[in-house]
Every structure is written in C-alpha cells, then in structure tokens.
Amino acid sequence: DADVTQTPRNRITKTGKRIMLECSQTKGHDRMYWYRQDPGLGLRLIYYSFDVKDINKGEISDGYSVSRQAQAKFSLSLESAIPNQTALYFCATSEPDRGNTGELFFGEGSRLTVL
Amino acid sequence: SQKIEQNSEALNIQEGKTATLTCNYTNYSPAYLQWYRQDPGRGPVFLLLIRENEKEKRKERLKVTFDTTLKQSLFHITASQPADSATYLCAFGSSASKIIFGSGTRLSIRP
C-alpha cells in the first residue's frame, strides 16, 4: 500500500463546481503539502501544514482552500473550479530534520480537468 | 523573482554513457538542493540531497555537485541504462516550506 494516498486519481468537472482532493498518509509525518504541476512550470506549492493546527499559504493559493482534519489527512478544495485549474495535483509529506531539509514523499497525483 | 532553470527540457544519450543534467538558480540563496526522479503518471521520488557547504555527493551511480558561486548544480548518472529514462527534477530549498522546483529534464537512454 502507498504511504501517501490521493483520491480521486482522475477527475473531470465543469466550471463553477466545487471539488475536493483528498490526501491521507501512513508515514506518521507532521508536515503535509499540496503542489500543482503544469507542463513547463514545474511543481508549485499551493498550501502547506506543519501540524494539525498550522495552515500556510504557498506560492499559488488563490482559488484554493485546505483542511487538515488529522495528522494523517490533508484535503485541498477548489470552491468554484475554473479551466486554468486543470493540472496534476500532488500531495506530499515530510518530517523535519536538524537542517530542515527533509525529503518530500509524494503521492501518485490527482489529475483534474476543468471543462 | 526567484527562478530555477533546468537548461534542457529533454536529453537523449546512448546507454553506457554519462548523463549530465544542469540546474541553475537566480535571485535565491538556497541552503540545500534536492534531486527527484519522476516516472510518467507517478509522483516524484527523492534521490539525493546536498547542502550548501557540500561540494559533491554520491550515491551508487549518481553524483551531484553544488556550486554556490556559479549558482548551479550538476546531476550525473554514470554507466546509464534504459531504466534510468525518466524526468529528473531539481529543487532548491532554504527551509522546509521554501522549496522551489525546476520544470524538469526528460532523460531518454537509448540501448
């Protein structure tokens, strides 16, 4: 079983619909992240959370919201999806080390298409 | 603005040769660098970490260098194999939250 699980893996929706992408992890890590990947743009950070009570905006948070329901669960919501939110979304986890250089453990991705 | 550039979108080399991928950064002072491998339809997988005070790191057939003067990292795969074909991402970080990814280099190793 995957350590970082994302659902759904694929989703097609229409403009204006509310969408939730879910992430759960069994690694026991406190830190969780949502990234977006677009061709030619690399991975961009949307939101991150260092523990259940901590939520922070990343580079491109507009149009997105998150919820950290438990240490193991971190959900990303698009309140009103628009076509330029069509992308591949990744959840990731990490644990802090002495240099704050912890490697990221990624899920398999959720491909979202907004028509 | 801070920028990470992987200077080749795609790289094709012959099996057995050394593949060298380049990653440059501007307007940024990273404390460390990470390299990830990403296969089609999969999430990135961590390969190597190198800190700013380290010049070189090795792991099996992989070698990474970090030159803060040139603002550049080189990633080498020696004795390349077709199974090494994938997209390789570099990522520079100054803290756990401030990690900036490059757009990746798609490496193809032909038999």
pLDDT at A42: 85
Checking if the pLDDT of A2 tops 80, the result is no
What is the average pLDDT score of chain B? 91
Checking if the pLDDT of B95 tops 80, the result is no
Q: Which residue has the tokens 């002072």?
A: B29
pLDDT at A100: 60
Q: How close B48 comes to chain A (CA, Å)?
A: 9
What phi and psi, each to the nearest 5 degrees, are found at residue B83?
-65, -15
Mean pLDDT throughout A38-48? 90
Cβ within 8 Å, pair A104-B44: yes
pLDDT at A1: 63
From chain B, the residues in CB contact with A56 under 8 A are: 97
Cβ within 8 Å, pair A101-B31: yes
| CB contact A44 to B (< 8 Å) | yes
Cβ-Cβ contacts under 8 Å for B68 (sequence gap 6 or more): B52
Checking if the pLDDT of A53 tops 60, the result is yes
Which residue type occupies B37?
Answer: R
Cβ within 8 Å, pair B44-A94: no
Checking if the pLDDT of A108 tops 60, the result is yes
| CB contact A10 to B (< 8 Å) | no
pLDDT tens for each residue of B26-37 = 888 888 899 999
pLDDT at A39: 84
pLDDT tens for each residue of B36-51 = 999 998 999 999 999 8
From chain A, the residues in CB contact with B45 under 8 A are: 106
From chain A, the residues in CB contact with B43 under 8 A are: 4, 90, 92, 106-109
Dist. CA B45–CA A37, nearest whole Å: 15
Cβ within 8 Å, pair B34-A103: yes
pLDDT at A40: 80
Percentage of chain B modeled with pLDDT above 70:
97
- Least Cα distance to A30 among A101, A93, A91, A90 occurs for A93
pLDDT at B97: 67
pLDDT at A75: 98
pLDDT tens for each residue of B4-19 = 888 778 999 999 999 9
Partner-chain residue, chosen from B4, B51, B89, that has the shortest CB–CB distance to A99: B51
SS3 content of chain A, % helix, strand, coil (to 5): 5, 55, 40
